[in-house]
Amino acid sequence: MKKIAVVLSGSGVFDGAEIHESVLTLLALERHGFEYQCFAPNIEQMHVINHLTGDVAEGESRNVLVEAARIARGDIIDLAEAKAQDFDAAILPGGFGAAKNLSDFAVKGSDCSVNSDLVSFIKDFAKDKKPVGFMCIAPAMLPHIYGQGTQLTIGTDQETADAIKAMGGVHQSCPVEDIVVDEDNNLVTTPAYMLASSVSEAAKGIDKLVDKIALMLG
């Protein structure tokens, strides 16, 4: 049975992993009969957002691994312990946690850096040409992992696309229900909630991303 690593970045669209995207990913993987294991870095979040008001919750702090455990129902492992050799593919749902906790893209744009454990983990997949899927804002990190010329999408947002181009990535505009495939790198991306206005819209692209990874795995 194929086994997929799913990397989360907290819990909640504004400061962690996008919950709908994460759950849709897990559902799609189960429908294909894949096993999966969730991971998250054992670090503090950049900040905490009150999801009712959208404001920063001053004085609050939360741990990315602890928060992501809510989505994984407790079955989650520190990203520092992850080994690509144990998995056939990897997927990263989006949410601002990808741009705030797994990287600092939300603050620094094209001058961003990416969590070192994530970089080394995904680079091991890249080295062996194992399939990897990134969704929503998460693909903005990919030029730092796969290098110049990486083909990807975050949807249609021009400012984000320009930052990706500045990092050496090749952005392709893409509708919410579709995917962009970098055949050279076995890399699949989809806009998800960068464009989706409903959970069913997000599901179309996420299902297609997981379908494509399944196809790559044979």
* Catalytic residue flag (residue 174): no
* Beta carbons within 10 angstroms of residue 189's beta carbon: 31
User: What is the pairing mode between strands 35-40 and 170-171?
Assistant: unpaired
CB 92 within 8 A of CB 138: yes
Residues 6 or more apart in contact with residue 58 via CB below 8 angstroms: none
Exactly one of 38, 112, 136, 174 is catalytic; name it. 136
Q: Residue 30 and residue 34: Cα distance in Å, rounded?
A: 5
Amino acid at 185: N
Q: Residue 90 and residue 142: Cα distance in Å, rounded?
A: 13
Q: Which residues are catalytic?
A: 136
